[in-house]
Chain A
Amino acid sequence: MALVSIRNLTRIFDVSKPWLNRVLERRPRALLTAVSDVSFEIEEKTVYALVGESGSGKSTIGKMLVGLLGPSEGSVDIRGVDLAREKDAAKVDAVRADIQMIFQDPFASLNPRWRVRDIIAEPVAARGGDTNGLAEKLLEQVGLSARDAGKFPHEFSGGQRQRICIARALASEPKLIVCDEPTSALDVSVQAQVLNLMSDLKDEFGLTYLFISHDLTVVQHMADRIGVLYLGRLVEEATPAELFDDPKHPYTQMLLAAAPKLDGFGREVTPPTGEIPDPINPPPGCAYNPRCPLAQAICREERPALRAVGGARVACHMVE
């Protein structure tokens, strides 16, 4: 059984103006569908990557997975427990302890007034566990020194802070770590260090990652399976080899063609046209139809379902 199974997950945010403004200005409610009917599964000890541009809903899915946000519809099951609906507190608690998160900005996600020792031990201390020597051991595992435990976050560089965040995420011995753009704020040589560390830790502790990123090359390097999101919808899901060698959805094709390539000297790309539509008023039918070169009448009327094409899953009417 898959460790995580996400079914028909939808999240709607109410971004309406206040009630009085709506009445006076005769405006309807504005509902923003950040995630719309997304289903996928994450197998144990694999890396599942969500990739998409800003506003595609990838972080919202990550937050719903760890329980920072509740789903509007659908469910997130982790080891068979639906976190949002399960009534048995002991069960929820047991699953919760297995999930941790690493955030994008290592400057904002560490409390500047706490010593590194307390930051790292907090997930264990909060559950009343034994924290003796824990921070020192974890610091060495992530490539820092045990002596660093007494320091404050401001004494570290960005890459070192991200290592502290990783140490904190490991403290409660989780099964699943949600990584939301863990290396986007880092320089490329530091990014390589952190990505290598994450790969090593995954093998050592048998971790499962949900890896959220906008960087296709990083995703290709890390992931076992990749889901491509567009306007809150899963448009394609495949292994990295399949996705990069033979992208099936026109959006994935556009994304891959537009990404700068290290060997693309003097490459003249035909830049993609248009931009991501407004998620409050998404286009009818397939969300990508206004920009799609293949769009037919059916694409403007009917939303394509995600269906198996070879080893991949694609949501497009035009793909055979």
Chain B
Amino acid sequence: MTAPILSIRNLTVDIPTRHGTLRPVDNVSYDIAAGEILGVVGESGAGKSMAGNAVIGLLNPPAHIASGEIHLNGTRIDHLAGDTMRRLRGKEIGMVFQDPLTSLNPLLRIGDQLTETMLAHLDISQSEARKRAVAALDEVGIPGAAERVDSYPHEFSGGMRQRVVIALALCAEPSLIIADEPTTALDVSVQAQIIALLKRLCRERGTAVMLITHDMGVIAEACDRVAVMYAGKLAELGPVRDVLTAPLHPYTDGLMGSTPLASRGKDRLHQIPGAMPRLDALPQGCAFHPRCPRAAEQCRADPAPRIEDGAGRAACFFPIDRVEVA
């Protein structure tokens, strides 16, 4: 296997508060290879967006990286100064956020926003940048790109705006894209268009994609591997088919069971009792044990084993036994 594009090692994010330090991301490690889509899934407060923000250096103070390393293309980037990081962001890392309207400047034509980004990061002329802006809009599937390049964001529909944001993220040809809930605000049919677009671009350009979402269906269709997060820690990490069809961690299993599925008909949904603990009141031992059907004495006393330390696919003392699927 070639060296990964993004490599996160033992990343910990802390938020100091008056009532003690919160740890939204706790000792997390994962890699993303070129051309790979890694899904990061979890419920609200699991730390999935916080990990993404740490990679692009956009943590809101007082949140900060307390320990760990982030490597992009073999270079360490977590300790870079503000302006070095700014040059990297946009150039090497593209970002797509949930709400396309707030990621675009409403007062600038989209063509100007695209050329501005390209001129800042690439050594090209104004006319060349404009040519590339039209090509970028064309590539993300905006009809009549040559005319629409001079439109303002409000003249586009939600789905079209998200395409513009993706064009913006891609225009400096980054090696990594972080997409944080890119389709949550969109309708089903538009969501399918955006997911297909992300997959195609990733395949054609060999871009690594970190797809943060809470939608298991999107994960299943788009991703190669999936990282399940719970209360700031990795619960399970593995190839998407294995994790979703034969989850080893009881949390992943519960999550899959509570998703309404066509094949289950109208039976009661499996429900995980309780809710995710608050960061200031994390239980002793494994953070999931109060809700876990398999919890034993050891789970209440000791922190769960870490995937990174060789615990296998699931960070659990008692993973669900599965007959090996050939």
Given contacts A260-B215, A266-B221, contact A188 B258 (CB under 8 A): yes
Count of chain B residues with a beta carbon within 8 Å of a chain A beta carbon? 45
**A54 within 8 Å of B (CB atoms):** yes
A157 touches B275 (CB 8 A): yes
Nearest opposing residue in chain A for B264, CB measure: A221
Nearest opposing residue in chain B for A254, CB measure: B189
B89-97, B107-115, B237-245: which lies at the A interface? B237-245
Given contacts A53-B189, A258-B188, A261-B220, contact A217 B261 (CB under 8 A): yes
B241 touches A265 (CB 8 A): yes
Q: Which of chain B's residues have a CB closer than 8 A to the CB of A189?
A: 43, 254-255, 258, 271-272, 275
B271 touches A271 (CB 8 A): no
Distance in Å from the Cβ of A36 to the closest Cβ of chain B? 19
**A272 within 8 Å of B (CB atoms):** yes
B275 touches A269 (CB 8 A): no
Q: Bound state CA distance, A189 and B292, in angstroms?
A: 13
A37-45, A72-80, A192-200: which lies at the B interface? A192-200
Q: Bound state CA distance, A136 and B66, in angstroms?
A: 45
A220 touches B258 (CB 8 A): no
**A255 within 8 Å of B (CB atoms):** yes
Q: Bound state CA distance, A281 and B19, in angstroms?
A: 56
Q: Bound state CA distance, A214 and B185, in angstroms?
A: 12
Q: Which of chain B's residues have a CB closer than 8 A to the CB of A190?
A: 43, 275
A260 touches B220 (CB 8 A): yes
A262 touches B244 (CB 8 A): yes
Residue interface mask B226-243, A partner, CB < 8 A = 1:
000000000000001100
Distance in Å from the Cβ of A259 to the closest Cβ of chain B? 5
Q: Bound state CA distance, A314 and B151, in angstroms?
A: 39
**A212 within 8 Å of B (CB atoms):** no
**A159 within 8 Å of B (CB atoms):** yes
Count of chain A residues with a beta carbon within 8 Å of a chain B beta carbon? 42
Q: Which of chain A's residues have a CB closer than 8 A to the CB of B262?
A: 217, 220, 244
Given contacts A217-B260, A272-B192, contact A53 B269 (CB under 8 A): no
Q: Which of chain B's residues have a CB closer than 8 A to the CB of A276?
A: 187
Residue interface mask B58-85, A partner, CB < 8 A = 1:
0000000000000000000000000000
B269 touches A196 (CB 8 A): yes
Residue interface mask A243-268, B partner, CB < 8 A = 1:
01000000000110111111111111
Given contacts A53-B189, A159-B275, A272-B192, contact A191 B258 (CB under 8 A): yes
A196 touches B260 (CB 8 A): no
Q: Which of chain A's residues have a CB closer than 8 A to the CB of B245?
A: 263
B259 touches A262 (CB 8 A): yes
Q: Which of chain A's residues have a CB closer than 8 A to the CB of B221?
A: 260-261, 264-267, 269
Q: Bound state CA distance, A157 and B274, in angstroms?
A: 11
A192 touches B220 (CB 8 A): no
Q: Bound state CA distance, A218 and B261, in angstroms?
A: 8
**A216 within 8 Å of B (CB atoms):** yes
**A275 within 8 Å of B (CB atoms):** yes
**B195 within 8 Å of A (CB atoms):** yes
**B119 within 8 Å of A (CB atoms):** no
Distance in Å from the Cβ of A236 to the closest Cβ of chain B? 15
A196 touches B220 (CB 8 A): no
A196 touches B192 (CB 8 A): no
Q: Bound state CA distance, A230 and B258, in angstroms?
A: 29
In the complex, which of the residues A159, A214, A263 has the most CB atoms of chain B within 10 Å of its own CB atom? Answer: A263
Nearest opposing residue in chain B for A278, CB measure: B157
**A187 within 8 Å of B (CB atoms):** yes
A265 touches B271 (CB 8 A): no
Q: Bound state CA distance, A191 and B275, in angstroms?
A: 11
**B44 within 8 Å of A (CB atoms):** yes
Distance in Å from the Cβ of B53 to the closest Cβ of chain A? 20
Given contacts A260-B195, A272-B192, contact A192 B271 (CB under 8 A): yes
Q: Which of chain A's residues have a CB closer than 8 A to the CB of B87?
A: none
Q: Which of chain A's residues have a CB closer than 8 A to the CB of B264?
A: 221
Q: Bound state CA distance, A214 and B187, in angstroms?
A: 8
20 examples of A-B residue contacts, CB within 8 angstroms:
A187-B276, A189-B254, A189-B275, A192-B269, A193-B258, A193-B271, A217-B261, A218-B260, A220-B260, A220-B262, A221-B269, A255-B188, A257-B192, A259-B192, A260-B192, A264-B221, A268-B196, A269-B221, A272-B192, A275-B189
List residues of A whose CB falls within 8 A of some B CB: 53-54, 157-160, 187-193, 195-196, 199, 214, 216-218, 220-221, 244, 254-255, 257-269, 271-272, 275-276
List residues of B whose CB falls within 8 A of some A CB: 43-44, 157, 159-160, 187-193, 195-197, 199, 214-218, 220-221, 240-241, 244-245, 254-262, 264, 266, 268-272, 275-276
Known contacts A260-B192, A265-B221, A271-B192; 8 additional CB pairs below 8 A are A189-B255, A189-B271, A192-B269, A217-B217, A259-B188, A263-B220, A271-B197, A275-B157
- 4 tightest A-B CB contacts, nearest first: A260-B217, A192-B258, A258-B192, A187-B43
